Structure 1
Amino acid sequence: MRIEQNPLFRKVIVPWYDSKIVCRIIIVCTLFALLFGLVGISAANATEMYNDYIWVPVALTAVSAGVLIASVIRLVKQYK
């Protein structure tokens, strides 16, 4: 007798990093990083001495925005 490869009663195992609670925690943390980067951009613009280093908060803002968008898309897919 053959064992059925894909039985209908089997639930999909969701990895821990793809669970809803972890996605929410990631979204909250990246929101704080995004706000921190935006404050850094405004502080670097306000101080003429730091204008050469504005790339650091811009990079932080860009990376955190990318992670935020990816996490929101992942969370929306889980609710559908």
Structure 2
Amino acid sequence: MKGLNRYDDSLKQVTLSKVKEVLGTPQNTHHYDTEDMLVYEVGEKYQLLFLFPKATQQNADPQINHYNVFYPQGTVNSMADDPGIKY
């Protein structure tokens, strides 16, 4: 689908440093091969996940790749005794 844009262009202005400036220190961070994730607790039930390309010397303050509102309880499978995912 050519031209499909899942996010508003203004989100391209959101940088790693801006998220930390506005929301403070994340409760958790995860570092993957190509991206970094900041995790913020939102109340008792939800988490905000912000994913950025890995910072490099050429791009020390990357722009957001995507974000998620995550509901960890929705990943629990009681029948399989699986406690689910929480970042």
TM-score (norm 1): 0.26
Give the structure with the larger strand fraction: 2
TM-score (norm 2): 0.25
